[in-house]
């Protein structure tokens, strides 16, 4: 597989379950992936763990490397942010100079611990809108992946969860939908960045459902007439 | 079928596609249904239309009657509100005295025309919270049915759409889930009333998807491990 024409994908704050889950799936799809963290050491540990898991599964030929967040933001063509809401603004302020002209995939869910099962959308409407406001119009912020259980990303299997993709630029949304598909899911154009509120709020509902039904719930868009 | 033990269901502002769709399904399930409107005449016209459609389908034995909103609120054991957002507060203020001790199913979606594909949640967080604030703790407000396409309710067939059911009282949510099932869908306990924001916001996303894919989209909760 040639990766010359594929964008380099950086994942900031990428050492958690969601970040390494996306890294694993994108790397397996042939992308060069950079895991970023606040320190290089933490990123290196995550990459080592990931390579070990992949080797156990007999997948050796993947390109994943470690950097600190600044270097990762600079090196990535498309940059994904998977930090807790409380670190979203500070991380974006820090790496902002490296993002001009790029796509920033915001995976932030504005959960307010300890009541994470309660919808508590922020001033400004949504984390997606906050990211766009911080980064300005030179960065195409695209909101995605809020409703995907990290548990399912970590598994190698298919995922019964669709991804709502919001952002002000259609071309940027389309590029992210390609990455959603590379990760084994289906993505939908879900409107401008203000519509990120829907997916962000839905995460607390899914947490509520998980608690009651003992599962890792997601959503599927129905009524498309393809399988009904 | 005996209906003695079944609650009487009133639908305020029930002359639109969503209200008559619910009326049709609940009446077919054996419930006595009252369609309310601002005038008795408008409610009577909706009931006549409904009876005509049902007769065409060979369903004669349904109990649907017409009242004005005040009388319908008083006569119903469980009262459903299906008015546009702009009429939500005034309608609830008007019928509030008749709702004490009852369940109010709020189907209001806080759309702000003309940009209905844009998530624009109200001050107060959600229409569901607004309803609970107006009615006070004597009324169990339960938010439901925001994501169901009226188009599919009007059809007699099964509906590939799940219903997120939010409200502060678990028993009230459970009664509404029974009504969701009576209407041919599956309902989920989705948390307290503040979580209504998720389903309300999602409606604008589904409108966005409908426009792009030419469909009547809904959502299904996935990952429950039953069919995967």
As a whole number of angstroms, the distance between CA B171 and CA B162 comes to 19
In this prediction, residue A4 carries a pLDDT of: 59
User: What confidence score (pLDDT) does residue B228 get?
Assistant: 44
- Measured CA to CA, the distance from residue B77 to residue B8 in angstroms comes to 5
Percent of chain B predicted with pLDDT > 70: 96
Residue A149: how many other CB atoms lie within 10 Å: 24
Listed in sequence order, the residues at least 6 apart from A210 whose beta carbon sits closer than 8 Å to its beta carbon are: A149, A216, A217
Tens-place pLDDT, residues A34-67: 999 999 999 999 999 999 988 988 887 889 999 9
Q: Which of A198, A202, A183, A189 is nearest to A78 (CA)?
A: A183
A window 80-119, beta carbon within 8 A of B: 117-119
Residues of chain A with pLDDT under 50: 1-3, 227-228
End-to-end CA, chain B:
36
Q: Is A188 an 8 Å CB contact of chain B?
A: yes
What pairing do the DSSP bridges indicate for beta strands A103-106 and B103-106?
A: unpaired
Distance, CA of A199 to CA of A105 (rounded, Å): 14
Structure tokens at B77: 């054991």
Average pLDDT of B124-147? 97
> Which whole-number Å values give the CA distances from B109 to A204, B4, B87, in the listed order?
19, 33, 11
Is B134 within 8 Å of chain A by CB? no
Instruction: Report chain B residues whose CB lies below 8 A from the CB of A189.
Output: 208-209, 212
Spatial CA neighbour of B188 closest among B212, B161, B206, B214: B161
Q: What interface predicted TM-score (ipTM) does this complex get?
A: 0.92
Residue B221 has pLDDT above 80, yes or no: yes
pLDDT the model gives residue B82: 97
Mean pLDDT comparison of A155-164, B125-134, B211-220, highest-scoring range: B125-134
Q: From CA B213, how far away is CA A25, in angstroms rounded?
A: 27
Q: Look-up: residue for tokens 């390494």? A: A20
Matching CATH number, A9-213, of 3.40.50.970, 3.40.640.10, 3.30.70.890, 3.40.50.720: 3.40.50.720
Beta-carbon count within 10 A of B6 CB: 18
Q: Please tell me if residue A161 touches chain B, with a CB cutoff of 8 Å.
A: yes
Is A208 an 8 Å CB contact of chain B? yes
Q: How many CA atoms lie within 13 A of A97 on its CB side?
A: 3
Chain B partners within 8 Å of A194 (Cβ): 118-120
Closest residue on chain A to B122 (Cα): A125
SS3 B129: helix
Mean pLDDT of chain B: 94
């Amino acid at each position: 597989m040639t990766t010359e024409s594929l964008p380099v994908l950086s994942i900031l704050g990428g050492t958690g379950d969601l970040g390494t889950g996306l890294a694993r799936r994108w790397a397996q799809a042939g992308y060069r992936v950079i895991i970023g963290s606040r320190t290089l050491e933490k990123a290196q540990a995550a990459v080592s763990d990931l390579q070990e898991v992949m080797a156990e599964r007999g997948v050796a030929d993947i390109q994943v490397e470690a950097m600190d967040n600044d270097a990762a933001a600079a090196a990535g063509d498309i940059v994904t942010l998977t930090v807790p809401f409380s670190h979203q603004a500070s991380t974006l302020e820090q790496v902002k100079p490296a993002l001009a002209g790029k796509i920033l995939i915001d995976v932030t869910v504005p959960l307010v611990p300890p009541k994470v099962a309660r919808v508590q959308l922020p001033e400004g409407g949504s984390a997606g809108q906050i990211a766009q406001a911080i980064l300005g119009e030179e960065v195409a912020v695209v909101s995605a992946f809020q409703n995907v259980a990290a548990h399912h990303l970590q598994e190698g299997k298919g995922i019964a969860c669709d991804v709502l993709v919001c952002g002000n630029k259609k071309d940027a949304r389309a590029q992210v939908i390609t990455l959603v598909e590379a990760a084994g899911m289906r993505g939908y154009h879900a409107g401008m960045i203000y519509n990120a509120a829907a997916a962000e709020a839905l995460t607390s509902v899914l947490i509520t459902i998980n608690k009651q039904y003992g599962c890792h719930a997601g959503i599927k868009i129905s009524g498309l007439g393809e399988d009904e």
